[in-house]
Structure 1
């Protein structure tokens, strides 16, 4: 993992693409120029329409003349906006940028080691062997006298960093605990300084954006009032003034939005690029309350966050070269951790993938879209005819009343039919997408390499299949179900409002900008709180899952209250944040409703005046006022439905990344390709110069230059102390992993060339940790067998050979007895014998027994061992057996005994020959005899 590169980048640029970010100043300039141009045209037309008004204004100094007949004030305000808004934007960018650099964790210094020390090369596609690790950013300091003061020192890349000089000099002189304490003081001082700087910058950005939105709202209010009062009766083209006024308001809204986007995009915070850790820039945060590190899974307070996809990393992992190698997060294969940048997903990429997933249902989608268009069209027409109904009632026009009622009924029926058809098609598509996604995700998970499961957490995988799948599919469901309809209603209602009364619309829409500003700010605040809530709930669920899985241990130590206290603590933290979110939501709703009701009041007030107006150019009917209210409510509800759509797509992109990264991730070990193994081939096993290192322990070489051959139809026993690598050798034979270096041969052919599915049909395996499914005994024994492959007689024979038939038949349900989750209703010895029966039923050519008799008593062990001996001596079947055991009785009759110590085969031979050597094997036998001397059987 390379040294972290530092770049100045903003948080919002993760949402706004780089191309759009570069074009934002151009967009703002274009909006301002268009605004001034429109205002100039309005002014020119008003002077042409009222040539005498300017002279009257100069003589009488009557502002009402200027307000009602001339548009010069609009031009002046446009010029004011052209200078004031860019100035506020510049101030917001400057004051909203952080001045201090983010504190960086020093990377740990680790001695060279690992497998690279043995054969001097990194594994293909894996992680290089890191030796001496330097700090990400050295602190340079200046010390004068005995006082402590700070200055900004540049590192070798020219990046400024503030350091406490006196503390740094003390740190250099310190050692041991004092050194660590001084280091922590420096980190705490830097973190506090940076945190305050970020808070100041965010506060300044909010102030600048609020000023921009406030001024834009005032400009819109003024334009709306002027539109209401302006006299357009003398204009040559009656539509020119309304069109230009509407365009002017659009420009004002665009200017405010572009200004705020520029502040968010150009107000800089020091982010750090570490592509090997994460694909997006990471930003320091002092208060990651309720967050956990996505690598080590520990709760963190200060660390680094990705604002694009909610990735968190603690200071320790940020400074560790091996954090991603050893961490529990990310997608890894047998050849190492896959770079996050390989699977980073942007919102538009997520949208494209969603369309690709839905493309198989194009017929249903076409039908749904057609139904959506027809349903939306009928819904947009119904307010007009309902307005005509009210006009007919007012005029007491019975034929018109009945005619419009009939049309309204037809539109309502058509809307209901097309709406139900749309809902049916979209829901079927949603269900099929959910089915397809979940099945593909489970397929992606179940086919991953075993190395993936070494780092994965079961709860996290279940979360991906439930929460992340839901989060990924929810925006698609919303898009198909309501978002498209809301878009039609929003723009359709907007057009109809201006068609009915452009004056009323100019006044009513002055309230939209404040509502947008309030809801957008609340969305950011609520998103952060809700992530913390979900994190605490996830922690509480993990505590509950762990406690229930270990309920016997909890009960044995009477720690129910301890677990309950832990659970309550997490849920209490979630509750606190939920209450804060509720208060913030209530405040936002209050302000939004006040503004909304204010707009409704304006509509009723001015609309009523227009209804009662005697000026035919301004007047509207009461029916059209009712229709206008219907369209206004349609716009409001559509806007509320559309709120946070882009935020939901951004969040869904993060969830989709976690889902699609597994769906797209192919295992490094492909189980379905290669040569098909047969029972007639030789089943010898050979290790040639095998080295092996677990990814989660990259500095520990488990196997070192293993050279060993196990002949076909013979028994090879692996003995040695715990942790010496015996089980790892079994795992390599099963090809759970590929060797880090060297190769393994089966029947003289390299193991990697075999089709694993076919190979495993001829391999029987019993592990020291017996794994059972929550099924019947018979189903557990037949697990992995195809239907009809074995008879009931074969099943009973295998169970008798494993000394399991008697205890199985002692149950009331016999072979149909359900054994519970993980086989909790059976003893350890019973589960082990069922596992042995499962192995014997397959009649394998290669037997791998990893402490297969460890859970059996002496009598059962003797019976099972006798059965295994009989199988080996059978002339009809020949087996190659590789067994790992500590008990002397299990290995004494083996054709070859290999003593493994610290990953190296130190002795090899038969029992008698090894005893004559008086080496490690002799010591192991002596300890075993001493241990069993006083054992009661």
Structure 2
């Protein structure tokens, strides 16, 4: 339950709406009490006039008495309808305030979680499954909203109704009230014990739901692999096991509620029987009227749903507590990479690594070891090496997606940690190894790279032309308006890479990073793209990470990395003369290309 205290700041934010809602709850319940008292008066009027009617039976006064009695009852009925109408009006206002507040807080909480997701670094996403992250911002927040809306509303309504009804009942007859309320302490004890069971079961249900979300998300993401390996049936069986586990946990929660609700209804029914039995004896002794018995029966029934809803409200609160605890795990996660400088930073493109060593979180393996090099503004530098040698780690550190453990990275002579983080990343055009396109049009995907405002279509087209993808895009039925991503057409790996390159080019960044971004294109296309990039590379610092020598031999400087350490550096000609690892790789790739031409 402590986890729900996190929401107090939102309740305080909307305190005036909530206070208005509480006021409307009180007024609506007053309009529920007054009709009952009029019903009591109606019963008493009828009861008091029955002996008189018998005495006047067969006389000329009987008809006027009956007419007058009918008029009184019709008047009372009119007042009762008017009061219930007013109750309905204020009940609408109750929902319009308290339930609307829950929707406002749901909106704020989802935005806070999303903002937090944006601020957390990449190691966070490596440790947590996408399905689980989605479940917490959707299903868990929905459960929390049920606490903020219906649970709070029904709890306030119950408290106000109890105060009004019980004070009214005590004012009529203390003995009858005590008898009627006898089952309530038993009900409270039942709620106390059952709520603990509901809480534990709710946590297990939510945990299993996250497991299922992750399972489904991974299945959809890897559906091609599943079909290619013929493992769809195997995965289906595994999913059935997860569903079975979820069903068992959910049924356990249903069983608890199934026992709880009838128990409460039984106790309320017992209160009604006590009202009629004890009330009848008191009426016989003349201590209360018959109208009071009818009044008490209605009061008991008025308490029936609020008291019966205690089990449901308890379940909502316990589920919300379990969900908010899961949400708090992320909201309380430390932000490891912070922007410590709000002043505007202008980046020219000078990069220097000074004895940089780096390990990814939760690993003992050094991705980079005592690495030192520098890049001048407008210079192009290539980083080569085998898979896993640490090439992409350099790109991640320059964009400050991870923090340096040992050593120092300088941008324009300043420690990267002292720069405005937003300005630094805005100055970088990054084409990652794993290409990602949004589920939007090709035009929007390319213009996404712009710093602000909408892209001029000519800019989008020019960027696509430089990335040698303009002709491919025009071949699609809707050209640049063609939707891509999960909901769009299937693009080849090479087309995705080139659209990703265009997205970086349109940004016109001070630092351009191409992380193995030509691996999915053929050699001929690669040469065209490289030629188009040469003019652009003279105007900005360019870092090209690649396995292919043909992609980097034109660069001003080449670094060759092995196991996170720099083993060779120099221009293409200097490294060829050296005759070591770079030269060996170059000759090996030449032989492979020659064999490829012959086989073609």
TM-score above 0.5: yes
Superposed, which structure 2 residues align to 1:524-923 within 5 Å? 524-611=196-283, 613=284, 615-616=285-286, 619-643=287-311, 648-649=316-317, 651-660=319-328, 662-663=330-331, 667-671=335-339, 673-678=341-346, 682-697=348-363, 699-785=364-450, 790-821=455-486, 825-873=490-538, 878-923=539-584
Post-superposition offset of 1:577? 4.1
Partner Cα distance (2:579, 2:72) in 1: 114
Post-superposition offset of 1:592? 4.0
Post-superposition offset of 1:662? 4.5
Post-superposition offset of 1:479? 4.6
Post-superposition offset of 1:661? 5.5
SS of residue matched to 1:864: helix
- Give the direction of change, closer, same or farther, for the CA distance of 1:727–1:384 in structure 2 (3 Å limit): same
Post-superposition offset of 1:815? 0.6
SS of residue matched to 1:691: strand
Which residue in the other structure is 1:3 paired with?
A: none
SS of residue matched to 1:830: helix
Post-superposition offset of 1:586? 3.7
1:202-255 CA deviation, whole Å, 9 max, x = no partner?
A: xxxxxxxxxxxxxxxxxxxxxxxxxxxxxxxxxxxxxxxxxxxxxxxxxxxxxx
Which residue in the other structure is 2:54 paired with?
A: none
2:106 is the counterpart of 1:434? yes
Q: Find the partner of 1:507 among 175, 179, 190.
A: 179
- Give the direction of change, closer, same or farther, for the CA distance of 1:817–1:671 in structure 2 (3 Å limit): farther
Q: Does the CA contact (< 8 Å) of 1:454 and 1:696 recur in 2?
A: no
Partner Cα distance (1:790, 1:506) in 2: 75
Post-superposition offset of 1:819? 1.2
- Give the direction of change, closer, same or farther, for the CA distance of 1:420–1:370 in structure 2 (3 Å limit): same
Post-superposition offset of 1:692? 1.0
- Give the direction of change, closer, same or farther, for the CA distance of 1:506–1:675 in structure 2 (3 Å limit): closer
- Give the direction of change, closer, same or farther, for the CA distance of 1:822–1:857 in structure 2 (3 Å limit): farther
Post-superposition offset of 1:407? 3.8
Post-superposition offset of 1:649? 4.3
Which residue in the other structure is 1:376 paired with?
A: 29
Q: Does the CA contact (< 8 Å) of 1:543 and 1:563 recur in 2?
A: no
Post-superposition offset of 1:821? 1.4
SS of residue matched to 2:344: coil
- Give the direction of change, closer, same or farther, for the CA distance of 1:579–1:750 in structure 2 (3 Å limit): closer
- Give the direction of change, closer, same or farther, for the CA distance of 1:720–1:665 in structure 2 (3 Å limit): same
1:153-180 CA deviation, whole Å, 9 max, x = no partner?
A: xxxxxxxxxxxxxxxxxxxxxxxxxxxx
Post-superposition offset of 1:785? 1.9
Which has the bigger relative contact order, CA under 8 A and spacing at least 6?
Answer: 2
1:768-815 CA deviation, whole Å, 9 max, x = no partner?
A: 211100001100000042565642222222211111111111111111
SS of residue matched to 1:935: helix
Q: Find the partner of 2:43 among 381, 390, 405.
A: 390
Post-superposition offset of 1:690? 0.9
- Give the direction of change, closer, same or farther, for the CA distance of 1:649–1:480 in structure 2 (3 Å limit): closer
Q: Does the CA contact (< 8 Å) of 1:449 and 1:668 recur in 2?
A: yes
Which residue in the other structure is 2:65 paired with?
A: none
Count of aligned residue pairs for this structure pair: 579
Partner Cα distance (2:95, 2:393) in 1: 55
TM-score under structure 2 length normalisation = 0.89
- Give the direction of change, closer, same or farther, for the CA distance of 1:674–1:380 in structure 2 (3 Å limit): same
Post-superposition offset of 1:590? 4.2
Partner Cα distance (1:700, 1:787) in 2: 39
2:80 is the counterpart of 1:408? yes
1:743-774 CA deviation, whole Å, 9 max, x = no partner?
A: 11122222222223223333221112111000
Which residue in the other structure is 1:76 paired with?
A: none
Partner Cα distance (1:682, 1:627) in 2: 83
- Give the direction of change, closer, same or farther, for the CA distance of 1:674–1:552 in structure 2 (3 Å limit): same
Higher helix share goes to which structure?
Answer: 2
SS of residue matched to 1:821: coil
TM-score under structure 1 length normalisation = 0.58
- Give the direction of change, closer, same or farther, for the CA distance of 1:830–1:671 in structure 2 (3 Å limit): farther
Superposed, which structure 2 residues align to 1:416-431 within 5 Å? 416-431=88-103
SS of residue matched to 2:9: helix
Superposed, which structure 2 residues align to 1:183-332 within 5 Å? none
Partner Cα distance (2:302, 2:569) in 1: 84
Which residue in the other structure is 1:477 paired with?
A: 149
Structure 1, unpaired ranges of 5+: 1-14, 16-345
Partner Cα distance (1:570, 1:453) in 2: 23
Partner Cα distance (2:24, 2:262) in 1: 37
Post-superposition offset of 1:816? 0.6
Partner Cα distance (1:840, 1:359) in 2: 47
- Give the direction of change, closer, same or farther, for the CA distance of 1:880–1:453 in structure 2 (3 Å limit): same
Partner Cα distance (2:547, 2:322) in 1: 49
Partner Cα distance (1:514, 1:369) in 2: 28
Partner Cα distance (1:714, 1:515) in 2: 78
